[in-house]
């Protein structure tokens, strides 16, 4: 009976956590399509409106390294309910915003909640489930983490076009309240708290270091790599991050325990995580650029193209999680990367006549590939660590993902811009009478294709790394030893 209650409680705990994570992740990407509308509504420039995304990412990225300390100091209930309250307060503030400053403040408050919740959920799974079951559980969570950002462009495109932008926030509020009520009723604590001492110097170093790197790379796309602000923030960020890392290595009780990198599999999955995140973020930027700038589709149509792939991805995620548990990391990752490479190869020669249906099928292939690798990658990395390093591994994972997202976005926008400019020069030389609009369209299409070629190279590098992952046999031997 006790076992039944424990199993039931585990399921309730997971449902509440997944619901919270789904809302948090959905909110994170919900505004990307609405940015151009906000420029008109609040009468602000593109550089200013970009702060809605950049600011969110900065707060998120700065908070993540501190989550390992927060998980040691506070209970699961306290952290989860607090993160949901931040999401609730931020959403109410954004919904009532009369000017851009209030909207940005609300967005930053939302980001505080979002920064805590994903690493918290990963750590809870490490405590609740043995390593041989984590793949299928992570697969179930993949529904929230992968499905939410994929449906966000379609959802926000529809809301902005047919209702009012305020409903992007009003719609969230009742769902967040339901999750808070469920958390108060059902959520229990999974780990003991300790009177951990906060290393203020490390917090300052991580905030300045990660904050500057994220800001520098996210500004590079719009300002250009030679802009003094971009160069200064990246250089300062890298120097301060190195100082932060040195302090963590020397500390007896580090804020972020970097000894997780002593485990080969964790290090390997972290590198793969960087490459996969870069590929994923790049596609979410390049495809709308090609569809809207190159082909003239609306934001809603661009978002709609991602929907079938997102649905398939969501349903496949629990299945690929079970496959990971059965076959181990190497075959799962290689299968996923082959699908990703096919999807990238399919868009290296985009034209004016590439059909909408072709792009939809190609996006489905990409999403199938990502379902084989996104959540299993987290599982493989965290399984390689002893339980006491779980919260640190989760925090490192999320920090790596935040940085990779910012760097990947900046790099791909740069590759796209350089190639589009170079193609525009070629086209105007070949055909001096070409209309300016046609020139802009064609150079955007060719620029997107060239950027996808860069993504194809990245996916090939990731495939080589995936072959270095351990075989399933080695894992089974370890298990049988522990059973004996």
Give the model's confidence band at 67: pLDDT under 50 very low, under 70 low, under 90 confident, else very high: confident
Query: 115 vs 104, which has greater pLDDT?
Result: 104
- Predicted TM-score of the model (pTM): 0.79
- Quick check: 139 pLDDT over 70? yes
Across residues 51-57, what is the average pLDDT?
Answer: 78
Query: 5 vs 142, which has greater pLDDT?
Result: 142
Q: What pLDDT shows up at residue 221?
A: 65
CATH topology of domain 1-194: Growth Hormone; Chain: A; (1.20.1250)
- Supply 402's token pair: 């935040």
Instruction: Give whichever of 50-59, 107-116, 182-191, 433-442 has the largest mean pLDDT.
Output: 107-116
- Quick check: 356 pLDDT over 80? yes
Q: Say how many CA atoms lie within 13 Å of 265 toward its Cβ.
A: 20
Q: What pLDDT shows up at residue 174?
A: 95
Q: What pLDDT shows up at residue 481?
A: 39
In the chain, the percentage of residues whose pLDDT exceeds 70 is 93
Question: Which 8-state DSSP code applies to residue 291?
Answer: I
Average pLDDT score over the chain: 82
1-194 and 259-479 in the same fold: yes
- Domain range list for the chain: 1-194, 199-254, 259-479
Across residues 433-453, what is the average pLDDT?
Answer: 80
3-class DSSP string for 99-166: CHHHHHHHHHHHHHHHHHHHHHHHHHHHHHCCHHHHHHHHHHHHHHHHHHHHHHHHHHHHHHHHCCCC
Tell me the C-alpha distance between 198 and 428, whole Å: 60
In the chain, the percentage of residues whose pLDDT exceeds 90 is 21
- Quick check: 131 pLDDT over 90? no
Give CATH for domain 259-479.
1.20.1250.20
Q: Which residues contact 473 (CB under 8 A, 6 or more apart)?
A: none
Q: What would you measure as the largest C-alpha separation in the chain, in angstroms? A: 81
- Quick check: 124 pLDDT over 70? yes
Across residues 263-269, what is the average pLDDT?
Answer: 90
Q: What pLDDT shows up at residue 94?
A: 93
């Amino acid at each position: 009976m006790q076992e039944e209650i424990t199993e039931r409680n585990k399921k309730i705990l997971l449902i509440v956590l997944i619901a919270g994570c789904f809302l948090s992740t959905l909110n994170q990407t919900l505004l990307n399509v609405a940015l151009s509308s906000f420029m008109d509504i609040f009468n602000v420039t593109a550089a200013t409106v970009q702060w809605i995304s950049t600011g969110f990412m900065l707060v998120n990225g700065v908070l993540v390294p501190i989550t390992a300390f927060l998980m040691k100091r506070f209970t699961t209930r306290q952290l989860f309910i607090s993160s949901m309250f931040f999401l609730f307060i931020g959403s109410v503030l954004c919904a009532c915003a009369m000017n851009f400053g209030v909207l940005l403040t609300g967005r930053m408050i939302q980001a505080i909640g979002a920064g805590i919740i994903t690493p918290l959920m990963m750590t809870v799974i490490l405590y609740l489930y043995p390593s041989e079951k984590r793949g299928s559980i992570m697969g179930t969570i993949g529904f929230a983490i992968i499905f939410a950002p994929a449906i966000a462009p379609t959802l926000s495109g529809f809301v902005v076009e047919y209702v009012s932008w305020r409903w992007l926030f009003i719609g969230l509020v009742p769902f967040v309240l339901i999750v808070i009520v469920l958390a108060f009723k059902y959520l229990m604590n999974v780990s003991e708290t300790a009177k951990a001492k906060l290393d203020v110097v490390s917090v300052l170093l991580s905030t300045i270091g990660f904050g500057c790197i994220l800001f520098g790379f996210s500004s590079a796309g719009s300002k250009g790599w030679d802009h003094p602000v971009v160069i200064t923030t990246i250089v300062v960020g890298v120097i301060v991050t190195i100082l932060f890392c040195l302090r963590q290595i020397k500390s007896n009780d580090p804020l972020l325990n970097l000894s997780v990198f002593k485990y080969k599999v964790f290090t390997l999955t972290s590198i793969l995580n960087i490459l996969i995140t870069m590929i994923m973020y790049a596609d979410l930027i390049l495809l709308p650029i090609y569809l809207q700038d190159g082909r003239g589709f609306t934001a809603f149509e661009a978002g709609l193209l991602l929907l079938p792939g997102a649905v398939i991805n969501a349903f496949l995620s629990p299945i690929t999680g079970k496959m990971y548990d059965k076959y181990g990391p190497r075959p799962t990752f290689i299968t996923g990367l082959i699908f990703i490479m096919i999807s990238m190869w399919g868009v290296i020669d985009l034209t004016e006549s590439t059909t909408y249906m072709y792009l939809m099928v190609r996006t489905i292939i990409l999403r199938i590939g990502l379902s084989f690798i996104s959540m299993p990658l987290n599982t493989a990395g965290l399984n390689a660590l002893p339980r006491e390093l779980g919260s640190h591994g989760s925090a490192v994972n999320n920090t790596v993902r935040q940085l990779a997202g910012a760097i990947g976005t900046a790099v791909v926008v740069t590759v796209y811009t350089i190639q589009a400019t170079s193609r525009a020069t070629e086209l105007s030389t070949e055909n001096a009478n070409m209309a300016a609009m046609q020139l802009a369209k064609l150079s955007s299409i060719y620029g997107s294709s060239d950027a996808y070629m860069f993504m194809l190279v990245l996916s090939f590098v990731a495939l080589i790394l995936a072959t270095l992952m351990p075989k399933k046999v080695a894992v089974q031997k370890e298990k049988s030893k522990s059973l004996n």
